Every structure is written in C-alpha cells, then in structure tokens.
A and B are shown apart, each in its own frame.
Chain A
C-alpha cells in the first residue's frame, strides 16, 4: 500500500455524511525498529476541505486554534482551517476508495509533538 493513496480520499461519517477529504496522514515514530529509528506508524488522518491552507502547516505546530505569530496570520489560519478535524486510525475504516469514520464528531487536530 502506498501512503499517497490515502491523500485526497473522501471521508464519510457513520451516517454517510461528508466530513471532508484526507489532507494528511499523522505518523508517530513508535513502530518496530528499522535501522536507527523506530518505524513511522500511522496514528490518524487529518480531514478537511482546504488542502492548500492545511499544506502550509501553520495549523499543526501550535495546535489548530493556538497559532502563534502575527494576529492577521493567526486569524486567517483559524478561519481557513476551522473545519479541519482529526480522525484517529482506530476509528477509520477503508472501503472502496472511501474512508468511513466510526464517530461523527471528530476532535481538532492535535499539535505535532
């Protein structure tokens, strides 16, 4: 399976409602040891409707609604990413080119640790 296959997949909730598309894949470095590093394990999916705004990454480092920096930038990032949410991998189910979430209310995107 290729990682980029996940990007852009539509995400639907338990009732079939549209939640957005997969904008990114959150990886955590706690998998089996591969060489000098632990493997990057898939922890969850970042789901939203604005790939370009999310691709800049401003919403990841300080938390989605705690962006530091010039207030104008923070306001813009908060507005553009207001619908971006985080889908933990254990709540996701891949089927026929769609990601189905087992929960309807998704949490905000946790900041990168």
Chain B
C-alpha cells in the first residue's frame, strides 16, 4: 500500500497501539523521524510511547514533572521512551496493529513492575500477572 496521505496529529498521535492478541500496548505519544543525509524529506521510523515521549510533547512544568517522575520510578534508568519500530505495523486503522506482543516489546517497564509487584498481588487480581 503506497501513496496514502495521513496527518501526524490527526491520524497517528494518541492512537492506541494493539498487539496481535488485541491487548493495548500503549498510545502513540510521539514519532521518531529519520532525516536522510541526502537531504530528502524525513520519514517516520518508529512510534514512541510512554511518559518520556509524552512529557516533552506536553512541555512546560507539567511535561518536566511527567519526565521527572518517570525517571524516578524507573530507578534512575537512562532508558528513553518505549520505541515501536514502524516495521512492526500490520494495520493502520482506528487502532494501530503491530506484530509483537506487549510483553515481547517491554515498552512500559514501570507499568510491568507495578503489575508484577503491586497490582498482581491484590486479592482477586489473578489475571493481572504475566
């Protein structure tokens, strides 16, 4: 499929990304553009998800606050935002389908830790564990 046009804010940002099992992987908080050295127009190589992508987009004190707490909760890890390569995209629609599961991608380590160590231990939360 080639030649279709889409607008970044209208069609990509804030869309839900779903894995092959239909589980939500995250929202598209930003995209990574590759700028070719030959001067040709940039193109989208990855979707970025998580607070470290959303924070800079929000900007201002709120954006800095989001990035700060994400950094604190990830125990000072220097990892950047969750990155989903465009080569994994299988479907562009109301949701964006990808060919890998959320657990394989590991794009939300803080949420995964919270599920494993907190939510999954609550009574009645058997389905929350991996």
Contact = CB atoms under 8 A, between A and B. Distances in A.
A4 B4 contact: no
* Chain B binding surface, main DSSP class: mixed
A46 interface: yes
B31 interface: yes
Interface residues on B, range: 35 or more
Interface in B25-76: 29-35, 41-45, 48, 53, 56-57
Contacts of B119: none
A66 interface: no
A40 interface: yes
Interface string B69-94: 00000000000000001111110100
Interface of B: 1-13, 29-35, 41-45, 48, 53, 56-57, 85-90, 92, 99
17 contacts: A2-B48, A2-B56, A3-B13, A4-B13, A4-B29, A4-B31, A6-B8, A7-B57, A26-B6, A26-B7, A27-B11, A28-B5, A29-B5, A40-B44, A41-B41, A42-B42, A57-B10
